[in-house]
Structure 1
Amino acid sequence: MPFLDIILLALFAGFVIFKLRSVLGRRTGHERRRPDPFSEPAQSNDNGNVVRLPERAAEVAGPPDDDAGPENPMAAGVMRIKLADETFDEREFLHGAKAAFAMVVEAYAKGDVDALRPLLSRELYGGFASAIEAREKAGEVQETTIVTIRSADIVEAALENHFAKVTVEFVTEQVKVTRNAAGDAIEGDPDRIEILTDIWTFARDIRSRDPNWELVATRVPED
């Protein structure tokens, strides 16, 4: 009898398990698939709204620029140079222009023609060398100290054939004095800082592998 009870219980348990599997294990076609974060496509909002990053939103949907006027010749010139020479960058150019300004002013004051030669065009170098020679013949000495470069701004830019030309206006504070052979100041004041404005034009052949620019012209603003 105990053996018969065990058999009956086993049969009953098997029947229950079969019924449960027939219900719980059946697929109806409406089950929710487990999400896979690595393969699920991004879901868009039902209302069609798009969330943009702040800077992108400003670019796409920003208000029109009411101050935009007619084409700026300087900006147009810079753009033409950029299109012809993808390495041109205004900020890097101005950084180099300020360094060149200091080097040229210092070399000219010292009469260092060797330092000037690679910085100037052939024509401009001839003028600088002649002025230095005349000063030395007169026994004069020039002392120049650049206290600070207040500003350096591109005021003109153009692409002429394959030559890029960029004109920069420098506003600087300098102490300048010229002394005679006896050491007396004959021009300028060693105790006075002058605010000077110089307009220099640099040029470069964009076909050349040499990335350096040459100073090709200097002038001061017209009164």
Structure 2
Amino acid sequence: MPFIDILIFAVIAVFLIFRLRSILGNRDGFEKPKKTVQTESSADNIINFKGKTPVAESAPLNGSGLKELRKLDASFKDEEFLSGAKAAFPLILNAYSESDLGSLRRYVGFDLYEEFSNAVHQRDAAGEHLKIDIETVNDVQLLDAEISDGIATVTVKYDTIQSRILTDASDTVIEEDSISSEQIEDIWIFERDIRSTDPNWRLVETGTAEPE
């Protein structure tokens, strides 16, 4: 899939291993967003948008909404971005659940990597194992965008059916921190400096929303 060569994602949420159920169950390290996400009307495993050119420094670099992002960054294409975001979703979740910090480093920024790394080390030290199975991807959609001083953020919602099983050192399922074939709506926010020639988007925040 060509778009898997496009996105380096990075996550900024508070990722505590003791809260898998509330986000990816309770203790896999993702946390709910601290504010409601508003919808706009309307091997290196990197997703790489080729041929991107930086936005001219003289252009206005502040705005709100996907329409404004398209205007400020002509290289931003909805379908292209969504294809890459959809491909990156299982890569990031699997890297986290498998304690693959090397791969996570390619997808996430420094701050979020530290959060992930701490959660992974705590889980491994406790002898626990996390398995995430994305059974069905019902929908992936763009919700909103913001541009501030040339830094663009795009909010994406993933509607999926997932199983997330956490086991202890004796391979016993920790029931209160595990889910089976449940609908989950993940909210992920990606970031990129549109003035840069670097085409990569970084995941900077994650959370969940209640399914409608």
Asked if these proteins are the same fold (TM beyond 0.5), I'd say yes
Say if 1:124 and 1:216, in contact at 8 Å, map to a contact too.
yes
Say if 1:164 and 1:205, in contact at 8 Å, map to a contact too.
yes
Whole-Å separation in 2 of the counterparts to 1:218 and 1:145: 18
Q: Which has the higher contact order (CA 8 A, sep 6+)?
A: 2
Partner residue, 2:209: 221
3-state DSSP of counterpart to 1:156: strand
3-state DSSP of counterpart to 2:171: coil
Partner residue, 1:188: 178
Say whether residues 1:103 and 2:91 are aligned partners.
yes
Q: Which runs of 5+ in 1 are unaligned?
A: 1-71
Q: Pick from 120, 133, 140: which aligns with 2:121?
A: 133
Larger Rg over CA atoms: 1
Say whether residues 1:112 and 2:100 are aligned partners.
yes
Q: Pick from 148, 155, 161: which aligns with 2:149?
A: 161
Partner residue, 2:53: none
TM (norm. structure 2) is 0.66
Give how far 1:221 is off.
2.1
Moved over 2 A (4+): 72-76
Whole-Å separation in 2 of the counterparts to 1:162 and 1:82: 13
Say if 1:74 and 1:158, in contact at 8 Å, map to a contact too.
no
Once the two structures are superposed, the pairs formed by residues 27-176 of structure 1 within 5 Å of their partners are 73=40, 77-176=65-164
1:112-155: per-residue Cα shift (whole Å, max 9, x none)? 11111121122111111111111001000001111121111111
Give how far 1:73 is off.
4.6
Q: Which runs of 5+ in 2 are unaligned?
A: 1-38, 43-63
What is the root-mean-square deviation in Å for CA atoms of aligned residues?
1.8
Say whether residues 1:198 and 2:186 are aligned partners.
yes
